[in-house]
Amino acid sequence: MKMDYLKNIELALSLGFEEVLDENAYNGIYYIKDDKIWIHDIEALKAKLHFKSDKELKDLNYDVDSYYKYVNYTNEMVDHKIEFIKASVLSNDSVLSGRYDLLHDSETLNAMGRLAAEGFSEEILADFAHQMSKS
């Protein structure tokens, strides 16, 4: 089963999209990153805007590429990546072992989950966590 709307929002936020209030947007909120607008349901969006093509959406700065990259994610896939990182922190066999601070830093944890979903190794995740702890 595909991810639900709330998990879709969680994914967008974990990818660095920011919430923008807009009474014209679906549920009064849209999400934006690097001037690209997150898409929850591309077919519903096209119908609402009376568009037929993805290009029309791209021309309005909708993030069509991210939509297709994550459209087949399930709630479990989003959660799994974050749970994998938590398990690595608690493990004795991981470069993330003992990084208990990560368990209380949802922003870094979600970003690491996104990186893990993209296939980055534990070493890269550990370096990312280290860099984030400096800021």
81 and 38 share a domain? no
Distance CA 86, CA 29 (A): 30
52 and 85 share a domain? no
Instruction: Identify the pLDDT of residue 54.
Output: 96
- The answer to whether the predicted template modeling score (pTM) of the entire model surpasses 0.85 is no
83 and 65 share a domain? no
Q: Which residues contact 98 (CB under 8 A, 6 or more apart)?
A: 89
Last residue of a domain, one of 70, 95, 110: 70
64 and 10 share a domain? yes
80 and 116 share a domain? yes
102 and 49 share a domain? no
pLDDT tens digits for the chain (135 residues)?
688 888 888 888 777 789 999 998 888 999 999 999 999 999 999 999 999 999 999 999 999 999 998 888 888 877 776 677 778 888 888 888 888 887 777 778 778 877 887 778 888 888 888 888 877
Instruction: Identify the pLDDT of residue 120.
Output: 82
Last residue of a domain, one of 70, 103, 123: 70
What is the amino acid identity at position 7?
K
Number of domain units in the chain: 2
Distance CA 13, CA 38 (A): 10
Instruction: Identify the pLDDT of residue 81.
Output: 67
Distance CA 35, CA 132 (A): 23
Report whether 10 contacts 78 (CB < 8 A): yes
Distances in Å between the Cα of 69 and the Cα atoms of 18, 92, 119, 128 are: 19, 33, 13, 22
56 and 14 share a domain? yes
Distance CA 114, CA 29 (A): 22
Last residue of a domain, one of 20, 40, 70: 70
Give the structural domain span for 86.
75-134
